[in-house]
Amino acid sequence: MAELKSALARAGDVAFAGIEAGVRMKAQFADTPIADAMLHAVRGGKTLRGFLVLQGAALHGVDEDRAKPVAAAIECIHAYSLVHDDLPSMDDDDLRRGQPTVHRKWDEATAVLAGDALQALAFQMITFAEIEAAHKVTLIASLADRAGINGMVGGQALDIAAETAIEPFDLRQIERLQAGKTGALIEWAAGAGAMMVGADDRPLRTYGRALGQAFQIADDILDVTGDEATVGKAVGKDENAGKATFVSLLGLDGAKRRADELVESACDALSNYGDDAETLKEAARFVVNRTH
C-alpha cells in the first residue's frame, strides 16, 4: 500500500509539473485569471488516471520523462470535465476536492473557459511527448474518441437524460452510461502506455474497463456509506436523488460483490505482465476499498 500511495503521489507531482509548464509556457494572457483557474482545477485529486498512464508506460519500457506529457494530458481532460460538471447548469457544486469550485472562486465564464483551455492543452501535451509521431496520432485520435460523444461527453449527456426519464434506468442503461461518463477516460489511461510504443493495448484496456466500472460502483457505495464532508462534496446535496445507481439496482451487498468480481477480472487481464503489474493490481484493490 505504501508503494501504491507513493506512486499515486508521484503521478500527481509529475502530471502537475507537466501541466504547469504547459500552462505557463502558453500564458500570453497572464493578465487574465485563466492560468490560475486551470492550475486550481488540476490540483488536489488522486491522480488515478495519470498514475495509470505512468504504470502502463513503465510496463512497456517507457520512462517517466517520456510518459509525463501523456499523464498530464489525461489529468487535463479529467480536470476540465470536473470544472464543467460542477457548473450551475450541471451539478451546481460549491466544493471540489475540499476547495471552492472554479466558478465559485472566480465566475462561470472563467470556469467554462478554463475547462475549454484544459481540454485544448491536453491534446497539445501529447504532441510534446518524445514518442513516434504515428503513436502520438493514435493517442490523440483515441483520446478524442474516449473524451467526446462516444465516451465521456456521451455518458454525461445520458446521465442528464436519466434525470428526466420517466422510468429509472435499468442495469444495462446504467452500465452504458457509466462506461462513457467515468469508464472511457480510465480505459484510455490504462491503455496509453501500450499505445505510446504501438504495442497491443487490449490487455491494459480490458483492465481499465473493469477498473472503471469497479471505480464507479465504489463511488456509488461511498455515496451511501461515506461521510460527505470527507469526500469533498457539497454537504447536504444528493446528486443521485431519484436516479438509479449500482447500489439501488444491485443492493449494497450485491454492488460490493460486483465490484470485487470486477477487481478480479481487472487483475486477470494483466496476467501476461506477471509481477511487473503488481502495482496496477494493488490499485484495482485500492479503488474498491477506498474511503473517499
Nearer to ligand GRG, 99 or 265 (CB): 99
Smallest gap from residue 275 Cβ to ligand GRG (A): 26
Are 96 and 82 in contact by the 8 Å Cβ rule? The answer is yes
Residues of this chain, 76-105, that bind ligand GRG according to CB under 6 A: 78, 81-82, 84-85, 97
Residues of this chain, 189-228, that bind ligand GRG according to CB under 6 A: 216, 219
One residue of 182, 206, 245, 279 binding ligand GRG per CB under 6 A: 182
Q: What is the dihedral of CA 105, 109, 110, 111, to 10 degrees?
A: 70
- Does 234 help bind ligand GRG (rule: CB under 6 A)? no
Q: Where are the beta strands (DSSP E) in 69-137?
A: 95-96, 99-100
- Does 153 help bind ligand GRG (rule: CB under 6 A)? yes
Cell of 203: 490487455
Q: Is 189 exposed, middle or buried (0-12, 13-18, 19+ CB in 10 A)?
A: buried
# binding residues, ligand GRG (CB under 6 A): 16
236: left (phi over 0), alpha (psi -120 to 50) or beta: left
Identify which range of 151-159, 165-173, 191-199, 264-272 contacts ligand GRG by CB under 6 A: 151-159
Are 87 and 223 in contact by the 8 Å Cβ rule? The answer is no
- Does 156 help bind ligand GRG (rule: CB under 6 A)? yes
- Does 46 help bind ligand GRG (rule: CB under 6 A)? yes
Smallest gap from residue 115 Cβ to ligand GRG (A): 8
Are 125 and 14 in contact by the 8 Å Cβ rule? The answer is no
Nearer to ligand GRG, 194 or 283 (CB): 283
Give the integer Cα–Cα distance in Å for 15 and 256.
Answer: 31
Binding region for ligand GRG (CB under 6 A): 45-46, 48, 78, 81-82, 84-85, 97, 152-153, 156, 181-182, 216, 219
